[in-house]
Amino acid sequence: MSSDDDVRGAVRAWLAEHWDPARDRAGWLAAVVDAGYAVPRWPRAANGRDLPDAQARIVEAEFARAGAPGSGQDRTNLWANTLLSHGTAELRERLLRPLLENRVRMCLLYSEPGAGSDLAGVRTSAVLDGTEYVVEGQKVWTSNAAGADYGMLLARTDPTAPKHRGLSFFFLPMDQPGVQVRPLRQITGEAHFNEVFLTGVRVPASNMLGEPGQGWRVLLTALAYERVALGQANLGAMTRANGRAEADLVELARRHGRDGDVLLRRDIARVVALRSVNRWNNQRAQAQAEQGSSSPLASLGKLAMSRIVHETGRVQSAIVGPQALLEGPDHPDGDDANFASMNAYFTSIGGGTDQIQRNIIGERLLGLPREPEIDRDVPFQDVRHS
């Protein structure tokens, strides 16, 4: 086994030889995958380097130091990690590398108008017809649906089974008749989310992840990776679509002459401390996820990031004062604070609501009694729906 210094030296040498900021992104990502640095924790047979977590983080740190993208996808690429864990050999062969090279656009087809917090209650159906499943239903709050090549679909394949055991999980091709996408306008004026209508849509049976009826197990894996990513850095809630970076609270306070304010200094220190603790927690959650566990620690990180994002928006607003009521390019700091405060609510909903995370933490981390579920063992077709 190579030492940490050997790994660091090898990565630096490889980057010095291959990295060029002017290089086209597609060619660069292909090179990173070839070198095994895109997913350094994965086995070599899956384009990885089979490194332990500590050395994989050395790889990521060197890429970050050089300003080179593409590494660490074994922690952050929700689609590829779920496919590696549960996809068939044929599906992995077809899609795994394109996902790592960002040549396949994806979306999540989970939530429904009547099944958001309780995803086990989804009613979108998938009925086997020869070698394909025919899908009927509606999804909502779907990011990137309009441009996606595939959607990770949770659908009900057996209505006679209890709600958690009658679900299956698919990679659904989005470019086909019967897929209708409608944007949903947010309070910030953006439209990151969509509602998706599925009418007579077909998905090959070979695009199923896991076995029929095991979709809930696959979903837990996908949610764990999603929550690790969201808990680590919820860029959607802390940055704008135009690429403006997260506000540096210390620099912001200095610019507005508020860096001597004792209360603001305390609030900024609290945000910085929360970010540090959450980063360590996410490292623990990632380590458990790599062992095949859908760690409840990911829920702790997701809930913590929700608090961090809300606190960051609140502190930004406190620093800029009345400017936080203004928007537009003439008032950039106020515009950012205003946006951060409004968009923070996305983090409290996306990837599982704050309330759901608290339930998971209470039951699976603290050992508190589970909430009663009178319909848990009832065939889904017999469950009463409003």
Q: How far apart are CA 137 and CA 142, in angstroms?
A: 14
Average pLDDT, the chain: 88
- How many residues make up the chain in this entry? 386
Residue 339 to residue 239: CA distance in whole angstroms: 9
**pLDDT at residue number 288:** 66
CA–CA separation, 85 and 218 (whole Å): 8
Higher pLDDT, 49 or 287: 49
Rounded average pLDDT over 33-47: 96
* Cα–Cα dist 153/126, whole Å: 10
pLDDT of the residue at 139? 97
Indicate the DSSP class of residue 49. -
Instruction: Please identify which of the residues 136, 226, 327, 363 carries the catalytic annotation.
Output: 226
* pLDDT class of 237 with cuts at 50, 70, 90: very low
**pLDDT confidence of residue 350:** 72
Co-location of 195 and 310 in the same domain: no
Whether residues 261 and 328 fall in one domain:
yes
Q: What is the pLDDT of residues 320-329, one digit of tens each?
A: 999 888 888 8
> What pLDDT score does 356 carry?
84
Confidence class for position 239, pLDDT limits 50, 70, 90: very low
CATH, residue 273: 1.20.140.10
Residue range 95-120: mean pLDDT, rounded: 92
Cβ(255)–Cβ(320) below 8 Å: no
Q: What is the pLDDT of residue 235?
A: 39
Token reading at 323: 């400017």
Which residue from 296, 286, 291 is spatially nearest to 232, judged by alpha carbons?
286
For the chain, the domain total comes to 3
Neighbours of 44 (CB within 10 A): 9
* Backbone φ, ψ for residue 168 (5° rounding): -135, 160
CA distance 364 to 151: 29
Report whether pLDDT(352) > 80. Answer: no
- Examine the residue annotation and report whether 211 is marked as an active-site residue of this protein: no
Show the tokens assigned to 381: 């077709």
Q: Which helix (H) or strand (E) holds 66?
A: helix 53-66
Q: Which domain holds residue 246?
A: 233-365
Quote the pLDDT of residue 376. 82
Q: Is residue 19 part of a domain?
A: yes
Do 329 and 253 fall into the same domain?
A: yes
Asked whether residue 195 falls in the same domain as residue 249, the answer is no
- pLDDT tens for 181-217 read 999 887 667 767 899 999 999 999 999 999 999 999 9
> Looking at the predicted structure, is the pLDDT value of residue 240 above 50?
no
Q: Does residue 317 sit within a domain?
A: yes
